[in-house]
Chain A
Amino acid sequence: MTRASAGPAEDHRAEQHRASADAADPAVSADVLARAAAGDDQAWRRVLEADWRRVFAMAFSRLRDPDIAEELTQAVFVKVAEQWASGDYTEQGRFESWLFRITMNQIRDEARKRRRRAGRLAPAGSLDTTPSQDEPAPEKTEQYETDRMRAAIEQLSESDRDIITLRHQGGMGFKAMAALLNEPVGTLLARHHRALKKLRTLMETASDANA
């Protein structure tokens, strides 16, 4: 039996992570959301402040192009604004899940377009970051470790990458992720744990190969 709730300790950790994930407080109150939806510029500015960096980081982490990540971030917020303007959206405490669902869909669409183009015009590039024989092995600096982590993330399955992106780039709590992905919190905790293990294995394998 999986547990239905992550519990207070997990929620506390998630909140800590979220707070550290963005300088702005991501928790925008229902009142602010309702005013933003009604067209209040100040409230809309607060919504943007709270969320735009997270949306951008998710897009950038998957697409690795700041211009396209900016374009995608703009498309996401335009969509939110349009939905609010049309009166189709009713705030029910799930704004974050809704926002990131739009974000993930946009990222998937863009990634699909890129794959289609890459397959049509050029062979896909290798994500291998192993240095060539002529290059000296890089030192194990923090930047080096971060780059290896990026390479390891690229090798995860699509669903594992979704979890990692939502959790770390998006700074989402597991409860909000559960609402977004329509899965129990316990399942997501286990999947996140497995994704971390895979990343660790991938990084250790890469280190062994370079040794």
Chain B
Amino acid sequence: MPEHPNDQHSKASRPGEERMEQLLGRVAAEDRAAAPVGLEDRLFAATRAKPALKLVGSTAASGPARRRLPLGRPLVGFAAAAAVLLVAGVGVWNAGWLTASQPAAAPNELLSAEMNAAESELDAAETALEIWIASLDALEGDVSGEIDLLLAEVASLDEAWDAGLGASADVATDWLDLGGAL
């Protein structure tokens, strides 16, 4: 028969679960203590006064996209940088145009809209990067294949050339022999 929830709850004071509660209390205390100094004042400023808003964090942080760039391959790195610049440039142009063309909106709304726009641009840039890198990888594979084929053909031509030279030498020897006989 399953335990009644009340029965379950009445056992919550068992030492093991009290220990869990204590540990959770410590984890929560650590989480609250991790708050940056001055955050309360910044929150107040952001929500009440003429907002001296502070953009923090995610867009400036180094993310997996940056860590995973294949920097060892100059061509791919260059192409990726070009893609980022292109996409970011379009994003900045659009953001500037949007900001300039909008009527006076509340600063908080503007901040929120700009953060959303920045997030979208970042997502678009990441997608463009992935597509770009994938296509360059494919291109690199194709070029490598073509080079292998060319090298194989050159090798066979070399062999043919050597064979041709051998045959020519035999013919020349025959002619010399014939000349000597005459």
- The residue that B46 contacts in the complex, of A61, A78, A149, A190, with Cβ under 8 A, is A78
- The residue that B40 contacts in the complex, of A49, A146, A149, A189, with Cβ under 8 A, is A49
Question: Is the CB of A53 closer than 8 A to any CB of chain B?
Answer: yes
Q: Which of B2-59 contact A (CB under 8 A)?
A: 5-6, 8-9, 11-12, 16-17, 19-21, 23-28, 30-32, 34-36, 39-40, 42-44, 46-48, 53, 55-58
User: A187–B55 Cα gap in the complex (Å)?
Assistant: 40
- The residue that B30 contacts in the complex, of A52, A146, A171, with Cβ under 8 A, is A146
User: A57–B24 Cα gap in the complex (Å)?
Assistant: 12
Question: Is the CB of A129 closer than 8 A to any CB of chain B?
Answer: no
Would you give the shortest CB distance from B59 to chain A, in whole angstroms? 10
Q: In the complex, are the beta carbons of B58 and A56 less than 8 A apart?
A: no
Q: In the complex, are the beta carbons of A200 and B16 less than 8 A apart?
A: yes
- For chains A and B in complex, what number of residue pairs have CB atoms within 8 angstroms? 159
Q: In the complex, are the beta carbons of B26 and A146 less than 8 A apart?
A: yes
Question: Is the CB of B137 closer than 8 A to any CB of chain A?
Answer: no
CB 8 Å contact bits of A24-61 with B (1 = contact, 0 = none): 00000000000000000100110011001110111011
Q: In the complex, are the beta carbons of A68 and B57 less than 8 A apart?
A: yes
- The residue that B126 contacts in the complex, of A66, A73, A117, with Cβ under 8 A, is A117
User: A78–B8 Cα gap in the complex (Å)?
Assistant: 40
**How many B residues have CB within 8 A of the partner chain?**
51
Q: Which residue of A lies closest to B111 (CB)?
A: A78
The A contact surface, by secondary structure, is helix
Task: Give me the 8 closest cross-chain CB pairs, A-B, nearest first.
Answer: A67-B57, A190-B5, A57-B31, A81-B47, A122-B64, A57-B32, A149-B23, A168-B24
Pairs A–B under 8 Å by Cβ, sample size 8? A48-B47, A56-B31, A60-B31, A67-B58, A117-B65, A118-B64, A120-B130, A168-B27
Using CB atoms and an 8 Å cutoff, list the residues of chain A in contact with chain B. Answer: 2-3, 17, 20-22, 41, 44-45, 48-49, 52-54, 56-58, 60-61, 65-71, 73-75, 77-78, 80-82, 113, 117-118, 120-122, 142, 145-146, 149-150, 153, 164, 167-169, 171, 186-187, 189-190, 193-194, 196-197, 199-200, 203
